[in-house]
Amino acid sequence: MIAQKPHKLSEYEPIVGPQVIEDLKIFAENIRKKSVVHVNSTKAGGGVAEILFRLTPLMNELGLDAKWEVIKGDQAFYEATKTFHNALQTGMKIAKPRNFEEFEKKTAENLRDISIDADTIFIHDPQPVGMIAQRKTNSDQQWIWRCHIDVSNPAIDVWNFLSRYVRRYDASVFSSPAFAHDDLGILQFMQIRTVNFHRLSLIEYYRNTDLTLSDR
């Protein structure tokens, strides 16, 4: 399990305003104590890891029982998933048979070594998509595939391979309608952003930069 540095909802109030924070607390009352697990492929160095590093503690502050798991992979596995990533976003047929074999091999190892159990499971991007095999039969679990990349016009070989897993999920979430695929056969939701993007982008840009007095 990934150790979390506390992040507080109050830190975001200057960005989104007090009403958004209050609305989140009201919505969360209906799902307090529900368990949630996020699963991705790295604990640092990627956009998804940055999201989960902040999101998981915030969900706990709202009264959920939220955890974050990371699958394991080796160089061959990450070479395969990087190839899949590029094929999905460019539509180019660049995947080799060994990429599919390495993906299935490492997926089987993760299914053996990692146990995923919660009321709701969010699987982030293609790397851990095969964890859906742990779905309990006749349970009320909700498995959701959170796709952070553009799969609207993917390489057909990679998409046919991955969609066999994706179609077993209850729903999918995409960052934009333009990034979604139209033949999944499961519920699709689109992330709606309501915060001030310009202000957030400035915060992200200057996050690791020493500021001068004029910058402030």
Spell out, as residue ranges, where the chain has pLDDT lower than 70: 1-6, 187, 191-216
Q: How many CB atoms lie within 10 A of CB 43?
A: 14
pLDDT at res. 216: 47
What is the SS3 string spanning 142-169?
A: EEEEEECCCCCCCCHHHHHHHHHHHCCC
Of 148, 143, 144, 183, give the one whose Cα is nearest residue 163: 183
Which residues face 70 on adjacent strands?
40
Q: Look up the CATH number of domain 9-206.
A: 3.40.50.2000
Is the sign of the CA dihedral 209, 213, 214, 216 positive or negative?
Answer: positive
pLDDT at res. 3: 53
**pLDDT digits 0-9 by tens, 110-148:** 999 999 999 999 999 999 999 999 998 888 999 999 999
pLDDT at res. 120: 96
pLDDT at res. 65: 96
pLDDT at res. 181: 82
pLDDT at res. 176: 84
Which secondary-structure segment (H or E) carries 67? strand 65-70
* CA dihedral of 94, 188, 195, 89, whole degrees rounded to 10: 10
pLDDT at res. 82: 96
Of 45, 193, 49, 190, give the one whose Cα is nearest residue 125: 49
CA distances from 40 to 14, 47, 93, 147, 175 (A): 29, 11, 25, 11, 16
